[in-house]
Amino acid sequence: MKVRSKLADVEFQIGEFEYKKDHIIIHSAKAQAMKTKVYVSPDDIVSVLGRVVSKPMVWLYFIAFPFFLLRYRRRHRNKQTAQ
């Protein structure tokens, strides 16, 4: 997953999950140089679900997801073999 902001562009690989004080904590993969933790609160989950339900483009993405996944993997594989 790529995280882009005005401060930095970060490649974030999901590692372990942890539960602590009503939060889900997502740790970056151990192989990453910059260790990162993402704290997800119950309010964050409700907010995301509310936005997902109200946006037709997200539903379209979920419906077409198998196609997107195959296309992404094919492009990624072709890019790797071209190098």
One domain, residues 35 and 50: no
Token pair for 6: 């005005």
One domain, residues 33 and 48: no
pLDDT of residue 80: 82
pLDDT of residue 82: 79
One domain, residues 48 and 78: yes
Strand partners, 37: 27
Tens digit of pLDDT at every position of the chain (83 positions): 777 888 878 788 899 999 999 999 999 988 888 888 899 999 999 999 999 989 999 999 999 999 999 999 999 888 888 77
One domain, residues 47 and 82: yes
Whole-prediction pTM: 0.67
Cβ(50)–Cβ(60) below 8 Å: no
